[in-house]
Amino acid sequence: MNDHDHRLNEVARIAAALEKQTGCPARLMIAQWALESEWGAKPVGHANYFGIKKADRHTQCCTVTTHEFVNGKSVVENLEFADYDSLADSCRDYAWLITNGAPYRAAWAKFQQGRNLGALIASVARVYATDPEYARLVEAIANQANVMEAIAHLRQQALGYITA
């Protein structure tokens, strides 16, 4: 198994468990993880795999030079980002942000009613990122066969269809 597949399987395991606990869709979590950290290869700081900016709830942070879209133009900014001790901690905070964070409450409530992943991705993307192509990119990754297969494999294992 190559590093890419190993990282995908690791985040899929965490994402599937968090989906069961919080309802945050594993496909959304994996897609944003992949986009924000180049498939887990380049987290922000020590272990921020989602590009989550620092908020009052964070005890660790780092300052990073990043490219943002402001008024349709790419600009370079130095911003404070949350930092975490591990991939699992980063994923837990991401799941909390999507399911409880004020910027996503309306999108989460609507998702709870209709379970429309595409609509959730579009609503989250409008707030989460400044890149106008962000929603399209997240949805494309969420629908990739390797992402869906990694989640399906874990669910089959949990049901006992596949033994280790």
Res 17 pLDDT > 60: yes
Write the pLDDT tens digit of every residue in 1-10: 799 999 999 9
* Mean confidence (pLDDT) of the chain: 93
Q: Which pLDDT belongs to residue 16?
A: 95
What CATH number labels 3-41+85-157? 1.10.530.10
Q: Which pLDDT belongs to residue 161?
A: 52
Write the pLDDT tens digit of every residue in 105-162: 999 999 999 999 999 999 999 999 988 999 999 999 999 999 999 999 887 877 665 4
Cα 52 to Cα 117: distance, rounded to the nearest angstrom: 21
Answering whether pTM is above 0.85, one says yes
DSSP letters for 40-103: TTS-BTTTBSS-PBP-TT-S-EEEEEEEEEETTEEEEEEEEEE--SSHHHHHHHHHHHHHH-GG
Q: Which pLDDT belongs to residue 163?
A: 43
* Neighbouring C-alpha atoms within 13 Å toward the C-beta of 163: 0
